[in-house]
Amino acid sequence: MARKITIGTRGSKLALWQTELVKRKLLEIFPELEFEVKIIKTKGDKILNSPLSKIGDKGIFTREIETELLKGEIDIAVHSLKDLPTKLPNGLTIGAVLEREDVRDVLISKGNLKLSELPQNSTIATSSLRRKAQLLNFRADFNFVDIRGNIDTRFKKFDESNWNGMVLAYAGVKRMGYTDRVSELIPTDIILPAVGQGAIAVEVREDDIETFEIVRKINHIETELATKAERALLKHLEGGCQIPIGAFALISDGKIKLSAMISNLDGTSLIRDSIEGDVNSDIEKIGIELAERLLEQGGAKILDEVRKAS
């Protein structure tokens, strides 16, 4: 009899798309397996009228799913990696990270204008402190409105508004079929993405070796290493939704280049640096080293101020 694997996921269209991708990749390798998808509502799905930074809860999109995983109600959990806290609950581990989509954020704008072309004092929709801080560092005249909800909802709100622009992650925009609405792929020298942005993670129980070995087959090693460096940096900075932190690791020719930033809330004090290392060295150590450099350059003071303000 074929083994049945139950996958836990959020119920949004994007979450289900990501779950189907994981399922399809596993079926290509293990056609004898059966899969059942179980939709689990998280705190983040229930609280839609508050910006994430105000909720200030690590694991807002993952905790309920992880609880089901620990209880054995599901066998694997599929998450957007950027939603997974850097410290996982005891007994859980990331079994696989799929090949990453383009990490950049995108601008959706009225009149198909780029960031530099938007009118003075333009209003941009985003709930991300990381995006707001870096956009204000780029152009201090921007104004912001908070926006939450799935991608379809955000586009509907934007189209019915008088806002000039909206900033989203390219990965979600592409996966939901809205690439024709993209006005600009924002360069990473203007906005560094969230840690893990564009990557899908498959979480399993540490003691479930059989399932771990199954999901390991769809792991993309370069994405895993790049996001490990980013997550080590974020963990060392103890950053969450309430802190404007961006990071992006790129691997090529056996080298890893990690870039990161810490900013205050209004973008007037933004520290950015990068580090290079050998991809075969201690990847997490590279992330910690860059985090230390950012803290020494004034990041510690910024983090302290942001935490006091939030």
Q: Give the residue numbers marked as catalytic.
A: 83
Alpha-carbon distance of 176 to 174, in angstroms, equals 5
Cα dihedral 204, 207, 210, 216, rounded to 10, equals 40
- Residues 246, 131: contact at Cβ < 8 Å? no
CA distances (Å), origin 242, targets 55, 132, 257 = 9, 12, 26
Alpha-carbon distance of 144 to 125, in angstroms, equals 6
Alpha-carbon distance of 139 to 84, in angstroms, equals 30
Instruction: Report the half-sphere exposure of 300 (CA within 13 A, side-chain side).
Output: 6
- Residues 286, 277: contact at Cβ < 8 Å? yes
Pick left, alpha or beta for residue 267 (phi over 0 → left; psi -120 to 50 → alpha; otherwise beta). left
